[in-house]
Amino acid sequence: MARIADELKLGWPERFSTSYLKGQIEKIILDLATEQIGKETQKRFIGFLDALNQFDERKLCIASVEGVAVVNDDPITFGPFVLRRATGVVLGKINSLIVESLRHTIHTSEEQLAFAAEFQKNAEDSLAGKVILEFEIVADAEQAHTAFFEKANMLMDLLQMSTKIAEFCGSARVGLCGHPHAGSYSSWVLPLNLGSWVQANHRTGAVGELCLNSGNMFLMRRAGVMRLAGALGRQATPLESALLRAAHWFAHATLQEYAGHKTLSLVVCLESILASSSARTVAEGVALLVGASPHQRRQLFDLVRDAYSVRNLAVHEGNIAQEFSRQNQFLWAVREFVTAVTNLCDELKTPQCLIQRIDQLRFS
């Protein structure tokens, strides 16, 4: 039965979860147990497939976001997502949806009121005044959550990447509420016999927020963030998918404390776009798409090769604490490469097409 559900899911990959389809199939089998197999059986299965085609349960998915500041109560659109502050009006809409959902359960009126009060208090405690993320989708509840969580984390990667694009937010950490894990941690080093001792305080996580004001939105749009966010609301091309994977590794790099880990993540970001782990191929790609002159291209080529040396020491020798004096330059180069490739997405659809374009530039 699970295999049948998995095969059915291939026809509606973003609409149904395997468990939902399995439940629907079980209902049909139970009904068929009391019937003779014949024309009515065929009609029942055709009706089942028609019902799947006409399925129109629309869900609103909501989660709070950390590390982002909005300047007013107006919604901000990122592809299929909306970011907004959870005002009283927004909470009122959520409460109305909760009450309406409970009306369709088997609970008594008194139980519905009690549950509604509990859910509404939870929503107000966890969302009031915060920045929230909204996403609408036609899907069963389990599949809606799966799709929302997957795509929302991709958007969080794009916003975390934006902390190195926007102004005055270089130390911000963006994520669904609970994910950034910001905080101050203490450790104690105590003598067991003689000697000194120390209590070390270590700060991790955010300092400031990504402010989505008009200036920063302009910078993010110019860097291609909105273009990639738009791909989350439709079938992305292979090149767009590669860029979204790359955005994850860029975001990951901004959260690393050691130069080796940061450089490794940025190298993986580049390799994700070019579908290549060749240092020469990657270095040439960055140099040709980012460099504005032969001299700058040579500098960028050498910069990426230096980054690969740092990456190799981190991977093969575990040397993660080494200094990389050109770290900020490398991060800038990777960011500009992501932007350059994003701007080519209307013209190029696959990483292979991108490699061909780089080859043309090499021989031009």
pLDDT at 190: 56
Nearest-5° Cα angle at 287, 283 to 288: 120
Q: What is the mean pLDDT of residues 196-218?
A: 75
Enter the tokens of residue 51: 């019902």
* Range with the poorest average pLDDT among 176-185, 243-252, 306-315, 347-356: 176-185
Find the Cα–Cα–Cα–Cα dihedral 156, 159, 161, 165, rounded to 10°: 180
3-state secondary structure of 137: strand
For 52, the enclosing helix (H) or strand (E) is helix 39-53
pLDDT at 42 over 60: yes
Residue 10 pLDDT grade (very low, low, confident, very high; cuts 50, 70, 90): confident
Tens-digit pLDDT profile for residues 47-100:
888 888 898 888 899 989 989 999 999 999 999 999 999 999 999 988 888 888
d(CA 111, CA 35): 38
Which residue has 């040579």 as its token pair? 298
What DSSP element (H or E) covers 102? helix 88-103
Task: Cite the beta strand spans of the chain per DSSP E.
Answer: 58-66, 68-69, 76-78, 81-85, 131-138, 175-176, 183-189, 198-204, 210-211
Q: Report the Cα–Cα distance between both ends of the chain, in Å, rounded.
A: 58
Model confidence pLDDT, tens digit, residues 127-153: 899 999 999 998 888 888 889 999 999
Q: Report the chain's C-alpha Rg in angstroms.
A: 26
Looking at the predicted structure, is the pLDDT value of residue 186 above 70? Answer: no
Per-domain boundaries in the chain: 2-47, 58-86+129-176, 236-363
pLDDT tens digits for range 96-136: 888 888 888 888 999 999 988 998 888 888 889 999 999 99
Output the pLDDT for position 185: 54
194 pLDDT more than 70: no
Chain Cα centroid distance, residue 48: 34
Query: Confidence band (pLDDT; 50, 70, 90) for 1?
Result: low
